[in-house]
Amino acid sequence: MQSPLPVRDGVNATRLRLPDEGPWDTAMDYMMHRWGHIDPQGIEDRFDAGEIVGEGGIPLHRGTRLEDHTFIWYYRTLPPETRLPVELNILHQDEHILVVDKPHFLPTTPGGTYIQESALVRLRNQLDLPDLIPMHRLDRMTAGILLLSTNPETRGKYQVLFEKRQVQKAYECVSAAEPAAGHPAVDFPVVVRNRMTKSRSYLLAEVIDGEPNAETRIDLLRTFDGAGAGDRAAAGAGGLGLYRLEPHSGKTHQLRVHMASLGLGILHDSFYPELLDKAPDDYTKPLQLLARGIRFVDPITKKPVEYRSRLQLSEVR
């Protein structure tokens, strides 16, 4: 559903669905119920200023009845954010797409405590492209190639490529050269297939019984000395390995889960195979996972294209 409010400071207006019924007479009553304990005066001021709107951009007022609107839109009050000490690099830009190298620690889209400090909002503001939309996502801790659409009129052509799995992605990661104790040796290349699920209420993705919905081809490119890595994955493992990962599906945390299932948890991964206590970001130890490249037949030019990251994993020797 199209927002009647434009993007402001790189951030979309928030959409709220009003309940069909309840003990609230007005839309403002309901918003006070939801957020009045945080900023009641701010809610009243927004209604008085006409900054809360319904479909078609119709401003709401204090007396607007609950049943008059199904959806309303408003701008959130954004808390101040400390700029993350990482930078985006633009690799390609034309009238249809933007390709960037996303650094570790920067989320793809706004969420949680990261709003202005997300790749999408930074790029919208930097390039003055309020209609910019990512075509896929990278985890906050994953670096590498990120493709975004700059043109709403051609956006659907690129979205279809991802929906039909006509985009080939390649990743690289660093892990132990040999599986952890208790895991069998691996004959590379290997294909890992299983069924994965992830609840919004739980940090970790899980492997469950059932028809596989996640598949990754994994190959060991080379091994090297892991001295100085300072990570549990390298301890006693006889060095480190550089791996190529080719996902044939796009489940949340898929590559991290599949590597951990082989006893080859990715270096500096605080989630898999073991969830570690939350700690401040350590910019000296980024997750050693990189989206190295992306390939597809461009739906506009009809020609095959490939974009490759210029970043390097810090632990590769």
pLDDT tens digit string along 214-257? 999 999 999 998 766 655 445 445 799 999 999 999 898 999 99
**Closest to 84 measured CA to CA, from 69, 109, 103, 59:** 103
Whole-prediction pTM: 0.90
State yes or no: cis peptide before 152, omega within 30 of 0. Answer: no
Round to the nearest angstrom and report the end-to-end CA distance of the chain: 49
How far is C-alpha 83 from the geometric centre of its chain's CA atoms?
A: 18
- Give the bridge partners for 35, in sequence order: none
Residue segments in the chain with a per-residue pLDDT below the cut of 50: 232-233, 235-236
pLDDT of 273:
87
> Nearest-5° angle of CA 249, CA 252, CA 255?
65
Q: Is the Cα dihedral 158, 159, 165, 169 positive or negative?
A: positive
Contacts of 29 (CB under 8 A, 6+ apart): 66
pLDDT of 159:
97
Sheet containing 71-74: give its strands across.
Answer: 14-17, 71-74, 53-54
pLDDT of 2:
87
Radius of gyration of the chain (CA): 23
**Closest to 139 measured CA to CA, from 272, 263, 277:** 272
Contact (CB, 8 A) for 184 and 126: no
| Residue 310 tokens, joined | 């210029």
pLDDT of 117:
96
- Residue 168: what residue type? Q
How far apart CA 105 and CA 6 sit, in angstroms, is: 28
| Residue 265 tokens, joined | 């948890």
Query: 194 — phi, psi (to 5°)?
Result: -165, 180
- Give the bridge partners for 16, in sequence order: 72
What are the distances in angstroms from CA 118 to CA 110, 158, 269, 283?
6, 22, 21, 16
pLDDT of 39:
87
